[in-house]
Amino acid sequence: MKARWDIFCSVVDNYGDIGVTWRLARQLVAEHGCDVRLWVDDLRAFERMCPEIDVQVDQQWQAGVEVRHWPAEWQGAAAADVVIAAFACQLPPDYMDAMAARERPPLWMNLDYLSAEDWVVGCHRLPSVKYKGVQKYFFFPGFRPGTGGLLREAGLLEQRRAFQQDAAAQQQFLQTLGVFPATGARLISLFAYENAGLAAWLDVLSTDGRTTHLLVPEGRILGDVQRWLGVEGLAVGDVHQRDALTLQVLPFVRQDQYDRLLWCCEFNAVRGEDSFVRAQWAGRPLLWHIYRQDEDIHLDKLDAFLALYTAALSPAARAALITLWQAWNTQGDMAQPWKMLMEHWPEVSQHAESWCLEQALQADLATALVQFYESWI
Ligand code: TRH
């Protein structure tokens, strides 16, 4: 019999919570034949990346996943065989009782946030709390062997490579977004939180010897873009040129289209968790705007990732990349580090592909979850 999975997603803010759980749910259905219910408390955030979502209904099927609205007043539901609480969200107490009432308790896991820190390996798959005899486990995504790995759909890298080798397919895709880059222009995508460091980066791009076409999905960084341009009311479709730099505002697209956007660009500025991982699968150099946490603990996470990611780079290329990422995350000066990075471009580019291949050697997160369940029953 097919295993039944319940994934609970509470949308804290932004799109990462729903982005990760929606991706995972679809993959469990498509590649592992699981029966998946995805409980989401905020269907409007979901609708941004999956426009077919009907925000008015409590139960619907999308891509083979049973999508359920997780209401503030829990209406009751039988507990599944595998229960995933994403990012430490609290399950409804009645649902926890339903888990405990099962003849055979479910496998209950907390799917944690992604981190490259050392301690993750030691905590992955460890028992956490118990509720009425039902044991909860930690499940950590990660970059190192001994973690749960990263979300990666079967055939993703092959698709990506075929697309990157097909100039016509890229051009056609960009045209659907209304993007017509000038010949030879460097394409960069920019998905980030508010960042005062943006102006210095845009200054340097606009005065560069090579033209840049910067694609900015609508979102939190637009205020900084507007300030730099000296305009108001930037909207989807707007294109502005300042010397060597063309800036274009894109709509928020569905996840598979966003992948294609990343695959088209030479350099991707990404943020949070899911876009950060997708940019790595794009095999192109990237810049990560990490999600800010209290007491700057996110900076430890940033350093942990940088140490791992840059370990195989030459000292000079490593220094350039680290300086750029740290500047971006501390709203520091971006101009000098960007110039430094450009000096090491061939090495940094090649490294992005090697890193991607190295990461793809690990089992993907959905497979790792299924394997954990199979070893547990
Ligand atoms: O939106 P985010 O900032 O999400 C964050 C992080 O997950 C963070 O760790 C978490 O604590 C916080 O939310 C609550 O960035 P992230 O993770 O990249 O999620 C964005 C999602 O949106 C991702 O699945 C890609 C998707 N996306 C599209 O589908 N279309 C688009 O056009 C764009 C720009 C993104």
pLDDT at 116: 98
SS (H, E, C) 37-88: EEEECCHHHHHHHCCCCCCCCCEEEECCEEEEECCCCCCCCCCCCEEEEECC
pTM of the model: 0.98
pLDDT at 154: 98
Domains 4-151+363-376 and 156-359 share a fold: yes
Give the tens place of pLDDT for each residue, 162-195. 999 999 999 999 999 999 999 999 999 999 999 9
Q: How many CA atoms lie within 13 A of 244 on its CB side?
A: 16
CA angle 288, 291, 296 (to 5 degrees): 105
pLDDT at 1: 75
CATH 3.40.50.2000 is the classification of domain 156-359: yes
pLDDT at 188: 98
Distance 192 CA to ligand 1 centre (A): 9
Instruction: Tell me, yes or no, if 66 is annotated catalytic.
Output: no
Name the catalytic one among 41, 112, 273, 347.
273
Closest listed residue to residue 62, CA positions, set 78, 76, 75, 46: 46
Question: Is the CB of residue 275 below 6 angstroms from any atom belonging to ligand 1?
Answer: yes
pLDDT mean for each 10 residues of the chain (377 residues): 94 95 98 98 94 96 98 96 97 98 97 97 97 97 98 98 98 98 97 97 98 97 98 97 98 97 98 98 98 94 98 98 98 96 98 98 98 94
Distance 20 CA to ligand 1 centre (A): 8
pLDDT at 194: 97
Closest listed residue to residue 112, CA positions, set 13, 255, 16, 5: 16
pLDDT at 377: 86
Give the tens place of pLDDT for each residue, 228-277. 999 999 999 999 999 999 999 999 999 999 999 999 999 999 999 999 99
Residue that the structure tokens 């941004």 belong to: 48
Ligand 1 pocket: which of 52, 195, 275 to mutate (most atoms <8 Å of CB)? 275
CATH 3.40.50 is the classification of domain 4-151+363-376: yes
CA 235 to chain centre: 24
pLDDT at 11: 95
Question: Is the CB of residue 291 below 6 angstroms from any atom belonging to ligand 1?
Answer: yes
Instruction: Point out the ligand 1 atom lying closest to the alpha carbon of residue 261.
Output: 32
Question: Is the CB of residue 159 below 6 angstroms from any atom belonging to ligand 1?
Answer: no
Instruction: Tell me, yes or no, if 273 is annotated catalytic.
Output: yes
> Is the CB of residue 45 less than 8 Å from the CB of residue 122?
no
What is the rounded CA–CA span in Å between residue 339 and residue 27? Answer: 40
| Per-domain boundaries in the chain | 4-151+363-376, 156-359
